[in-house]
Amino acid sequence: MNIILLGFPGSGKGTQAELLKQRYGFMHVSTGDLIRHEIAAGTLLGKKIELLISQGNLASDEDTVNLLVNAIKHRDNDIVFDGFPRTTAQAEVLDRYLKQHGKKVDEVVLLSTREDLILKRLTSRRVCASCGGIYNTYSPDYKEICVKCGGRLTIRPDDTLESAKHRLEVFKKETQPLISYYQQSAGFKKVDGGGSPEEVFGEVVKALGLKK
């Protein structure tokens, strides 16, 4: 079963995808993580897109698709797509790619969240420099270090208020149309993304019909 998680930046796609990976064995593919990896590794591609991304703009469809296809070339089933597709062009490429491999997008889960909550979440997000764990400074059990691995918590360069606001605008323009693109498909589900990670996960599991 291949799943796309759709939703505003900061709607919790990464957190839910990680839970699906840990508890149900899905492969979690985040194009945001793939891009950040290129930047951290200082590759040619990373250098080309670094500024663009930190300002909250999208990478090109071509660069993103190349990274994605490379990441899933050894596996084309039981994947959770997080942050991909983000444009209609990317959605069409993904459909074609999976079809060529006799697979398809089975489920699309829209994590619906209010905009004011999104900005609060993005600007208070912290990411573990070692394991990528995601935290929020306002959550009741927040610690200054990663509770999973003891790693240092960092602020993503694109989580400044200015960049976060811009990402919301980019989402509305480029990614919102995808909701209508997928809404007609049988696997489309809308889940309230406003609760705690575990609450939302309960809804996601129910929507996908996964065994508890």
Q: Which residues are catalytic?
A: 13, 86, 125, 156, 167
What minimum distance in Å lies between the beta carbon of 24 and Zn ion?
A: 21
Site membership for Zn ion, residue 133 (CB under 5 A): yes
SS3 state at 112: strand
133 binds, among ligand ADP, Zn ion, none (CB under 5 to 8 A by kind): Zn ion
CA distance linking residue 153 with residue 132, whole number of Å = 9
State the residue number with the nearest CB to ligand ADP: 32
CA distance linking residue 200 with residue 177, whole number of Å = 24
Q: Which two tokens stand for residue 192?
A: 């309230």
User: Which CB atom, from 52 or from 129, has the smaller least distance to Zn ion?
Assistant: 129
Alpha carbon of 206 to those of 77, 110, 189, 210: distances in Å? 20, 13, 10, 6
User: Which CB atom, from 33 or from 203, has the smaller least distance to Zn ion?
Assistant: 33
Q: Is the Cα dihedral 139, 143, 146, 147 positive or negative?
A: negative
130 binds, among Zn ion, ligand ADP, none (CB under 5 to 8 A by kind): Zn ion
Q: What is the DSSP string of 39-94?
A: HHHT-HHHHHHHHHHHTTPPPPHHHHHHHHHHHHTT--SSEEEES---SHHHHHHH
By CB under 5 A, what part of segment 138-157 binds Zn ion? 146, 148-149, 151
Task: Find all residues with CB under 8 Å of 46, minimum gap 6, and list them.
Answer: 35, 38, 39, 40
What minimum distance in Å lies between the beta carbon of 45 and ligand ADP?
A: 12
Backbone angles phi, psi at 114, to 5 degrees: -75, 150
Site membership for ligand ADP, residue 31 (CB under 6 A): yes
By CB under 6 A, what part of segment 107-146 binds ligand ADP? none
Site membership for Zn ion, residue 130 (CB under 5 A): yes
User: Which CB atom, from 170 or from 186, has the smaller least distance to ligand ADP?
Assistant: 170
Judged by the rule CB under 5 A, the positions of this chain that interact with Zn ion are 128, 130-131, 133, 146, 148-149, 151
Judged by the rule CB under 6 A, the positions of this chain that interact with ligand ADP are 9-10, 13, 30-32, 35, 53, 56-59, 64, 83-86, 90, 158, 167
